[in-house]
Amino acid sequence: MATITIRGPSGLTFPISTRLFINNNFAPALSGQTLDILSPASGGHLATVAAAQSDDVDAAVKAAHNAYRTLWRDVLPAKRGELLHKLADLIERDADELATLESVDAGILFMDSKGLHVPQAIETLRYFAGWADKISGQALHIPNGIAYTKRESLGVCAAIVPWNAPLMITIWKLAPAIAAGNTLIIKPPELCPLYAQKLAALIVEAGFPPGVINIVCGTGPQAGQAIAEQKGIKKLAFTGSSAVGRQILKASANSNLKKVTLELGGKGPSIVFSDADIENALLWTSIGITANNGQICAAGSRIYVHASIYEDFLRGFTARCSNAVHGDPLLSETTKGPVISEGQHAKIMSYVEKGKASGARLLHGGESLGGQYIANTAFADVKDDDIIMKEEIFGPVAAVAKFDSEAEVIAKANDTEYGLGAAIFTNDVNRAHRVASAIEAGQVTVNSWGTLHANTPFGGVKESGFGRDMGEEALDEWTSTKVVKFNILPSREESVSAKL
């Protein structure tokens, strides 16, 4: 079928296309290949969508290249901003539909998508719409002349997006790429691509010219690999696992050395000092590991608590994490949805068993709730070298340990290959500044966890990747800098005098 009907809360129904979106047209894959999409909540069949192969990626690149060369790179920056604002308006109008799609397709709570993901996408679009006509260079003095720099678009770019917050992260790539004047190919996640089908329809309605934004669903080994190897693509932004990030870097090196930005895994520390507001710390640390079932790269999965408040914290943490209501993610009373897939469920449960085998104290949870639902789980007294303390689980499993000194906990927090996010809880401003400066992470929050804002950059260090989404810094990832130098010639009289 070319379209399917989606059903949301309160009787909401709407159609979406199941085909590839290239050159502002919906069409089947050239090979006729398809993907079956399953419901995380029920495990049943949800949709069958076109699955892009390498020839479909080539077609998308051709459309994007033609759009860039013949039209888009000469469109006035203010017009690009206007189109981004229009897309933001349409997403705001259809927030219920987009939240429904993330809920039925990815298991994200409807209220979380509508209350957090969709507004953050809108904020990001409006932020970069404002930047579109303000991307400027510098005037520079050089001997015997002047120089200036220009920040120019790259051309045809691409983004490969993960399944855990698909709409929001797609817009993190789309907004700065388009504001900077590039054309774009988006590969949505094969586990939950339906939000992108709705987004494609809104792109047409907003008035983007054909070929400027193309959306091609497909598997990583097929569509993703083809994008990474495509020589017509000048930049690729990827959010996902560290293993796939390495493959993308290799593909870039072996093809055309396309510019690459990577936002990869994490094993974020949350540090609770003895002077912290304990209720605030409990609120944010519990959210930090249970939000979206811990399927967040910046999840606060390692929690370090000062020894003087350790047992009190553990009791409060269990009380906050043990009252989740699991069920249909579309329902307002549900506070715990399913994890994304059977494979993810099995992976998380294998880590739970490793935690039990390690001898760590099981505080709460530790069991499957049936289907693809997993209880919020936490282990206490976890040793530094335990697997659940070292490896990214990507599930609602917290590893908690105590510490005695500031220097000790900084060393523990930095004892990881990752460096994406961290959280500090203290009422001592001097300590907060010292520890935030010492932590090896791209983002550190104080007395909160994981807060995102369109004007603040987000990204990692170490094996959490490189490059930034959001903030002015994101524009650097979607532009190149050209310098133009003028040698100021002497006047005719000066030239004659020099010869004499």
Which listed residue (123, 190, 263, 477) is catalytic? 263
Task: Give the CA dihedral 102, 108, 109, 110, nearest 10 degrees.
Answer: -10
Rounded to 10°, the helix 406-414/429-438 angle is 30
Cα 113 off chain centre by: 14
What count of other Cβ atoms lies within 10 Å of the Cβ of residue 320? Answer: 18
DSSP 397-429: EEEEEEES-HHHHHHHHH-SS--SEEEEE-S-H
- For residues 18 and 15, what is the distance between their CA atoms, to the nearest angstrom? 10
Q: Which residues pair with 482 in a beta bridge?
A: 150
d(CA 412, CA 75): 51
Amino acid, res. 127:
Y
In the chain, the amino acid numbered 183 is T
Catalytic residue among 157, 192, 217, 297: 297
297 assigned to active site: yes
- Which of 218, 233, 217 is CA-nearest to residue 182? 233
Q: Which residues of 361-400 are buried (b: 16+ CB within 10 A; e: fewer)?
A: eebbbbebeeebbbbbbbbbbbeeebebbbbbbbbbbbbb
Report how far apart, in Å, the C-alpha atoms of 55 and of each of 33, 184, 195, 227, 244 are: 12, 17, 23, 11, 22
- Name the region of 124 (left: φ>0; alpha: ψ -120 to 50; beta: rest): alpha
What is the Cα–Cα distance from 182 to 448, expressed in whole angstroms?
35
Contact 47, 195 (CB under 8 A): no
Determine the Cα–Cα distance for residues 452 and 450; give it in Å rounded to an integer.
6
The answer to whether 152 and 483 are in contact (CB under 8 A) is: no
Catalytic positions, please? 263, 297
